[in-house]
Amino acid sequence: MASLSVKIKRQRGIGFWVGAAVAALILFLCFGTVGIVAWRAEAGSTINEADISALTFTVKQALLSAFFSVILAIPVARALARRSFFGRRVLITLLGAPFVLPVIVAVLGLLAVFGRSGIVSWLLGQFGIAPIHIYGLHGVVLAHVFFNLPLAVRLILQGWLAIPSEQFRLAASLGCKARDRRRLLEYPMLAEVVPGAFAIIFLICTTSFAVALAIGGGPKSTTLELAIYHAFRFDFDLSKAALLAILQVALSGCAALLAWRLARAASVGGGFDRMVNHYATGSSHVGDSVWLLMTSLFLGLPLAMIVIDGVPRFFSLPLSVWQAAGRSFLVSMATTGLTVVFGLSLAFWVTRLRGTARGLGEAIGYLTVAVSPLVMGAGLFIVIFEFASPQDWALPITALVNSIVALPFAMRVFLPAVEACDARFGALAQSLDLKGFARFRLLEAPRLARPIGFVAGLAAALSMGDLGVVALFADPARATLPLALYDLMGAYRMADAAGAALLLMLLSLGVFYLFDRGGRTDAPL
């Protein structure tokens, strides 16, 4: 026991304290900002019926979004698990696209497909059916399904692939029918995987802002985040913003706890990781193809429309759009740097902790998944307002908040990698007295190049496309590209908006690709 404590003490270098400082910063940004907003709020504002309806709408749309994402994902994941076909790889890549696609761009693509003058309405018109319109609850849910169906498919697909193919073989050799196979192998797996996927998507949808902002369509479909934005930005009503912020944090806190409990990886017996595609019957083959085709269309058409609509104006975009793109790029790079530094320091810190402290440390890393970027932004705004013009700080704050938002993803990737590295080489490094920056440069950096590249790519893309906190501080002279795009839509300059959307999509996918790729090829292993 004594030797253990000595060992721990010896490992507490500068890195440990940097990690602790990052944890403190995160705690401040998550809770301190809510406190600041609440402190500045004058008494007197109470929650009224309209606020409650924002809360119920937030819950309702999140439940529906999670429900449809998961329900639709089950047949798609099953089809992907048991079919090998030409273009399977492309489809799986396509499934990854919504992760790094800016929300506002996707909204524009969805409008082009599902809007009143979109493709679907046009097709319906050919049969004399009235056009559909996208604004309101169903539009919000549609957009969320667009973003989260791929996530659900991936999570459930993992579940399917985790069932060893030997078990399917065994089932086949025992003469199990499709019904038995489902009952014995697939339903138990789904029962384990689906609640977790549902909870994660529910959590993500509770902090929806940009989707509701763009296609919410008024008080009937206002999420809490949007209500915070309205209270802050339009009414400068801090008490209301604070009240809504507390509701928001409580809601997503509960959702996060739920997801934490439910989202445990399913553990089924081991196998040799073969494809599971031999045991489907002919009729299910047709079914699988239909599901895969529908999914490809649903995800691919909006993306295609962005390209088709965007190309004509792409090369004659106004200068202001290019300037906004430049600002977005800088913000994105700053976010990337901060995310990697924060994520790594936190991961190193957590691996040095033991027992309860470790659990808590880990929780801090994932905490920000439940926190509202707008509340953080509002809190920082109030602090800065005391001594400077918050507009001047809009971009640094955006970069900081974005890096905090990206942190849970970073932790998810870094923590296992750092742990593995520590377990394998920790003792060796210690015996060689390799520590501090030398240890990082010689030991960890080469081994972490891939995770760092992936996290950097993700953070860069997320930040490039973010339309959240920057909208609070909005100032056209300092607009980022997503904000400039939203402003163009607001001014109904749709041709320019389409061009800007294409530019934003290319930038987001581009930075993700470059970082992710860089992490893979430059690793001197």
Asked if residue 390 binds another protein (CB under 8 A), the reply is yes
CA pseudo-torsion sign 223, 228, 232, 235:
positive
Nearer to another protein, 49 or 433 (CB): 49
Nearest approach in angstroms of CB 45 to another protein is: 11
Segment near another protein (CB under 8 A); pick from 131-139, 150-158, 325-333, 452-460: 131-139
Work out whether 490 is an interface residue with another protein (CB under 8 A).
yes
**Residue 157 or 378: which CB sits closer to another protein?**
378
Of 36 and 334, which CB lies nearer to another protein in the complex structure? 36
Q: Are 175 and 96 in contact (CB under 8 A)?
A: no
Closer CB to another protein, 23 or 214, in the complex: 214
Q: Taking CB under 8 A as the rule, does residue 312 contact another protein?
A: no
Minimum Å gap between C-beta 298 and another protein is 22
Please report whether residue 135 would count as binding another protein according to CB under 8 A: yes
Residue among 101, 98, 195 at smallest CA distance from 156 = 195
- What residues have CB less than 8 Å from 41, skipping those under 6 apart? 238, 239, 240, 241, 242, 243
Least separation in angstroms between residue 426's CB and another protein is 51
Q: Give buried/exposed letters for 77-99 (b at 16+ CB in 10 A, else e).
A: bbbbbbbeeeeeeebeebbebbb
The answer to the question of residue 124 lying near another protein (CB under 8 A) is no
Q: Is 129 in the site for another protein (CB under 8 A)?
A: no
Q: Are 345 and 18 in contact (CB under 8 A)?
A: yes
What is the closest distance, in whole angstroms, from the C-beta atom of residue 445 to another protein in the complex? Answer: 43
Shortest Å distance, C-beta 251 to another protein: 17
Residues in the interface with another protein (CB under 8 A) total: 40
Q: Are 371 and 30 spatial neighbours (Cβ–Cβ below 8 Å)?
A: yes
Is 53 one of the binding residues for another protein (CB under 8 A)?
Answer: yes
Contact call for residue 377 and another protein (CB under 8 A): no
Residue 312 Cβ, how far from another protein at the closest point, in Å? 17
363 binds another protein (CB under 8 A): no
Regarding 416 and contact with another protein (CB under 8 A), the answer is no
Main-chain dihedrals φ then ψ at residue 388, nearest 5 degrees: -155, 175
Using the minimum distance from each CB to another protein, give the nearer residue, 56 or 289. 56
Per CB under 8 A, does 468 bind another protein?
A: no
CA–CA separation, 256 vs 261, rounded Å? 9
Please compute, for residue 512, the number of CA atoms within 13 A of its CA located in the half-sphere on the CB side. 21
Choices 53-61, 97-105, 148-156, 197-205 (CB under 8 A): range interacting with another protein? 53-61
| Residue 307 burial by Cβ neighbours in a 10 Å radius (0-12, 13-18, 19+) | middle
Give the list of residues 6+ apart from residue 38 with CB closer than 8 angstroms, or none: 242, 245, 246
**Which residue in 158, 167, 284, 391 binds another protein (CB under 8 A)?**
391
Question: Which is nearer to another protein, 312 or 476 (by Cβ)?
Answer: 476
Q: Is residue 262 exposed (0-12), middle (13-18) or buried (19+ Cβ within 10 Å)?
A: middle
The residue written with tokens 């033991």 in the block is 354
Among 38, 494, 506, 514, binds another protein (CB under 8 A): 494
Cβ-proximal residues to 209 (8 Å cutoff; 6+ apart), any chain? 223, 225, 226, 229, 373, 374, 467, 468, 471
Report the distance separating Cα 266 and Cα 289, nearest Å. 27
72 in contact with another protein (CB under 8 A): no
Residue 234 φ then ψ, to 5°: -95, -40
For every residue of 418-452, DSSP letters joined together read HHHHHHHHHHHHHHTT--HHHHIIIIIHHHHHHHH
371: left (phi > 0), else alpha (psi -120 to 50), else beta? Answer: beta
With beta carbons less than 8 A apart as the criterion, state whether 481 and 413 touch. no
Smallest separation (angstroms) from another protein to the CB of 402: 21
480 binds another protein (CB under 8 A): no
Cα separation, 417 vs 231, whole angstroms: 42
Taking the least distance from each CB to another protein, the nearer of 11 and 320 is 320
Q: Least distance from C-beta 313 to another protein, angstroms?
A: 14
Binding residues among 229-248 for another protein as defined by CB under 8 A = 230, 233-236
Q: How far apart are CA 307 and CA 109, in angstroms?
A: 9
How far apart (Å, rounded) are the C-alpha atoms in residues 183 and 196?
20
Q: Which of 19, 57, 291, 404 binds another protein (CB under 8 A)?
A: 57
Site residues for another protein, window 13-52 (CB under 8 A)? 48-50
DSSP 136: S
Q: Which stretch binds another protein (CB under 8 A): 81-89, 302-310, 447-455, 487-495?
A: 487-495
One symbol per residue from 73 to 112: x for binding another protein (CB under 8 A), - otherwise; what is it? ----------------------------------------
The residue within the footprint of another protein, chosen from 40, 60, 133, 435 (CB under 8 A), is 133
d(CA 52, CA 73): 31
Point out which span in 7-15, 244-252, 489-497, 514-522 binds another protein (CB under 8 A).
489-497
The site map against another protein for 187-226 (x = CB under 8 A) is ----------------------------xxxxxx-x----
Quote the CA–CA distance of 244 and 240 in Å, as a whole number. Answer: 6
Binding flag, residue 492, another protein (CB under 8 A): yes
Contacting residues toward another protein, per CB under 8 A: 48-50, 53-54, 57, 115-117, 133, 135-136, 215-220, 222, 230, 233-236, 385, 388-391, 474-477, 487, 489-494
